[in-house]
């Protein structure tokens, strides 16, 4: 099993280029089921989750061929009744649920395993089912599978807000079904995340008619047919944000090329409040921190609020800030697996319900730690970069799900980091 060995204490400096967004690419890949022609995607990151989605689509008869330089060509057969998304694949990646909407819209049937449990807490799919049922899909849960059938879906008006706000993949799923439905669909309390916007733009290129992209009210005029198209996936705002936080946390000076200011303003604002300088430069964002960071209260919220996917990384940075910070999680109230591992490195964090109180300490010290999920792993890497001495992070397969060439990119910024194989 691979581990990362980091010797901390060095300021990160220089430029790094962000990859295409995993969470945009995954639903867009699923949208290929809807298209009559090939979908040519550029900027697709080479990640474990992307390969898993490729395998899942393969089970559904879609070919997903990776070409050179981040291009992927996806072709769905014009007629197919393959509709089973098996547990063996679905248990490893939640985004697999995004095939449900396209299967219902295009093939009128689906047998999709409920996606696997995840270390970030409870992740229901009731909003996905609510939206698809509003469009006329019959959906039952049997033996761990969502069994769906329908004739042509019908446009409908629906409210997709849940106890924690909108749902990103829920909106994606319902949107992908509504574009081929008969008539008008209104999705209220739709997710506004840049990844949902990117999916909507691809669907438009395929011939879909969608108004309100980027707003919480999407209005879709169903069409009879969608064709192929070419699209470049947006840059990964969470990867970009991770480098920006790492730059500030190590009191460095890092420029993230490709990072989009409007996608990251919630983070930029937070970095400024902790005392780092953040500026927008020609297609990039630069962060520079000259002194110890200040403490701050951070609350995660749906876009454009501070993203839950950067909560763990920001908490790592706050462990050495001057003063007491409170980090409150409003999207996944149990997403605090990193707290205990950060504690092994000397961080002083007390978890209280859906918040964590962080008492800033002068310095962390390297320790053996274990990655528990994707973003918690990124937080451990940031903590390791800040810490005195050596940190070994095991179970890095979590990181490989979502960060392309992480060690290489960090090394270019001056980090001392290498991958080793721990014989287990």
- Structure tokens that stand for 261 in this block: 């200011």
Cα-Cα end-to-end distance for the chain: 7
- Considering the complex, state which of residue 104 and residue 293 has its C-beta at the smaller distance from ligand EPU: 104
- Considering the complex, state which of residue 26 and residue 347 has its C-beta at the smaller distance from ligand EPU: 26
- Considering the complex, state which of residue 164 and residue 265 has its C-beta at the smaller distance from ligand EPU: 164
Residues contributing to the site for ligand EPU (CB under 6 A)? 23, 26, 94-95, 122-128, 162-164, 167-170, 191, 195, 308-309, 331-332, 374-375, 402
Pairing of strands 368-370, 13-17: unpaired
- Structure tokens that stand for 112 in this block: 């999709």
Minimum CB–partner distance for residue 65 and ligand EPU (Å):
22
- Considering the complex, state which of residue 331 and residue 367 has its C-beta at the smaller distance from ligand EPU: 331
Minimum CB–partner distance for residue 288 and ligand EPU (Å):
27
- In the sheet with 145-149, reading across from the earlier edge strand, the strands are 84-85, 109-113, 145-149, 138-142
Minimum CB–partner distance for residue 416 and ligand EPU (Å):
26
- Considering the complex, state which of residue 37 and residue 305 has its C-beta at the smaller distance from ligand EPU: 305
Supply the residues annotated as catalytic.
118
Q: Which of 35, 36, 53, 34 is nearest to 44 (CA)?
A: 53
**What is the C-alpha to C-alpha distance for residues 206 and 35, in angstroms, rounded to an integer?**
7
Minimum CB–partner distance for residue 407 and ligand EPU (Å):
19
- Structure tokens that stand for 358 in this block: 């962080």
Minimum CB–partner distance for residue 167 and ligand EPU (Å):
3
242 Rama class: left (phi>0) / alpha (psi -120 to 50) / beta: alpha
- Considering the complex, state which of residue 243 and residue 332 has its C-beta at the smaller distance from ligand EPU: 332
Q: Are 222 and 179 contacting, i.e. CB atoms less than 8 angstroms apart?
A: yes
Minimum CB–partner distance for residue 409 and ligand EPU (Å):
18
Burial of residue 225 (number of CB atoms within 10 Å: 0-12, 13-18, 19+): exposed
**What is the C-alpha to C-alpha distance for residues 411 and 397, in angstroms, rounded to an integer?**
19
* Alpha-carbon torsion angle 273, 274, 280, 286, nearest 10: 180
Residues 6+ apart with CB under 8 A from 218: 171, 175, 185, 186, 187, 190, 200, 210, 211, 212
């Amino acid at each position: 099993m691979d581990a990362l060995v980091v010797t901390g204490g060095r300021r990160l400096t220089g430029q790094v280029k962000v990859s295409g967004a995993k969470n945009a690419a995954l639903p867009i890949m699923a949208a290929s089921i809807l298209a009559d022609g090939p979908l040519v995607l550029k900027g697709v990151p080479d990640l474990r989750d992307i390969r898993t989605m490729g395998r899942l689509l393969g089970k559904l008869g879609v070919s997903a061929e990776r070409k050179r330089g981040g291009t992927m060509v996806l072709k769905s057969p014009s007629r197919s009744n393959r509709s089973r998304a098996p547990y063996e694949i679905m248990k490893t990646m939640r985004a697999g649920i995004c095939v449900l909407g396209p299967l219902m819209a295009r093939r009128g049937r689906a047998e999709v395993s409920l996606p696997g449990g995840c270390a970030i807490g409870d992740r229901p799919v009731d909003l996905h089912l609510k939206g698809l049922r509003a469009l006329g899909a019959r959906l039952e849960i049997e033996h761990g599978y969502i069994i769906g059938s329908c004739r042509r879906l019908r446009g409908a008006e629906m409210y997709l807000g849940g106890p924690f706000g909108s749902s990103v993949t829920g909106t994606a799923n319902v949107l992908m079904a509504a574009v081929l439905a008969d008539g008008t669909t209104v999705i209220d309390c739709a997710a506004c995340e840049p990844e949902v916007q990117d999916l909507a733009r691809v669907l438009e290129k395929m011939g879909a008619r969608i108004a309100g992209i980027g707003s919480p009210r999407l209005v879709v005029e169903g069409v009879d047919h969608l064709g192929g198209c070419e699209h470049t996936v947006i840059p990964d705002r969470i990867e970009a944000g991770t480098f920006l936080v790492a730059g500030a946390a190590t009191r460095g000076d890092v420029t993230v090329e490709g990072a989009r200011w409007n996608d990251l303003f919630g983070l930029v604002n937070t970095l400024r409040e902790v005392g780092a300088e953040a500026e927008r430069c020609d297609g990039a964002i630069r962060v520079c921190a000259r002194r110890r960071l200040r403490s701050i209260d951070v609350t995660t919220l749906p876009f454009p609020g501070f993203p839950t996917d950067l909560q763990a990384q920001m908490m790592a940075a706050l462990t050495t800030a001057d003063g007491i910070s409170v980090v409150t999680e409003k999207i996944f109230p149990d997403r605090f697996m990193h707290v205990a591992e950060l504690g092994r490195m000397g961080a002083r964090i007390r978890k209280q319900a859906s918040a964590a109180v962080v008492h800033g300490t002068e310095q962390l010290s390297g320790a053996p730690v274990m990655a528990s999920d994707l973003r918690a792993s990124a937080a451990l890497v940031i903590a390791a970069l800040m810490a005195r001495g050596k940190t070994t992070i095991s179970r890095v397969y979590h990181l490989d799900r979502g960060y392309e060439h992480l060690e290489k990119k960090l090394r270019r910024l001056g980090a001392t980091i290498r991958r080793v194989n721990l014989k287990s």
